[in-house]
A and B are shown apart, each in its own frame.
Chain A
Amino acid sequence: EAGVTQSPTHLIKTRGQQATLRCSPISGHTSVYWYQQALGLGLQFLLWYDEGEERNRGNFPPRFSGRQFPNYSSELNVNALELEDSALYLCASSFSAPPEDQPQHFGDGTRLSIL
């Protein structure tokens, strides 16, 4: 069974540019989650999509947005990039919630570097 796949592996941008990160969930999973793993800050929840709808978002500004497609893959878009956006962005997928103990399966992440 293929796991969660993310692309690209690495992405280098400059301040003010826009970045698009992509995620394909495990087959059968309808929920997709995005996390930011910044140095020293641990993992922070960004967005949750389920059945094509945004269900919840973390404490991030509106320039972080995304969408989920009919095939349940997802995009994360970051506009007006800032230096502090440099981080590893992880995507995870699971079967549709609830139950609350549905474990999430993570991709290997996209490393976004802002110069």
Chain B
Amino acid sequence: GNSVTQMEGPVTLSEEAFLTINCTYTATGYPSLFWYVQYPGEGLQLLLKATKADDKGSNKGFEATYRKETTSFHLEKGSVQVSDSAVYFCALSKNTGNQFYFGTGTSLTVIP
């Protein structure tokens, strides 16, 4: 079946540190891959996406590359800020009922 596995949190980093949040997926065919972010007290927002292998999604300094050979879509940022503190969800979408499959979320706290 289809599923997403992402690294467990919580993750605590100092400001300007390098961030990696791992995400791997299981799916048949060619899913689209997403990262969503949920800031404290807010709903989910689309952070970035990639729709085919080797695509790189990027937004707000975050990047993720669709790696079909390793079935991964790791989220990276070179220098995190306090304002990046949030919960990050990796997700995949298949055109079979337009259903999204989400990971359990990784909580990130950035300290000054």
Contact = CB atoms under 8 A, between A and B. Distances in A.
B45 A106 contact: yes
A101 B32 contact: yes
Contacts of A40: 104
Interface stretch (B12-20, B71-79, B93-101): B93-101
What size tier do the contact residues of chain A reach? 20 to 34
Interface in B29-52: 31-32, 34, 36, 41-46, 49, 51
A48 B96 CA distance: 12
Contacts of B41: 108
Given A100-B94, A109-B43, 12 more contacts: A35-B102, A42-B105, A44-B102, A50-B98, A56-B97, A97-B98, A98-B95, A103-B46, A104-B100, A105-B45, A106-B43, A106-B45
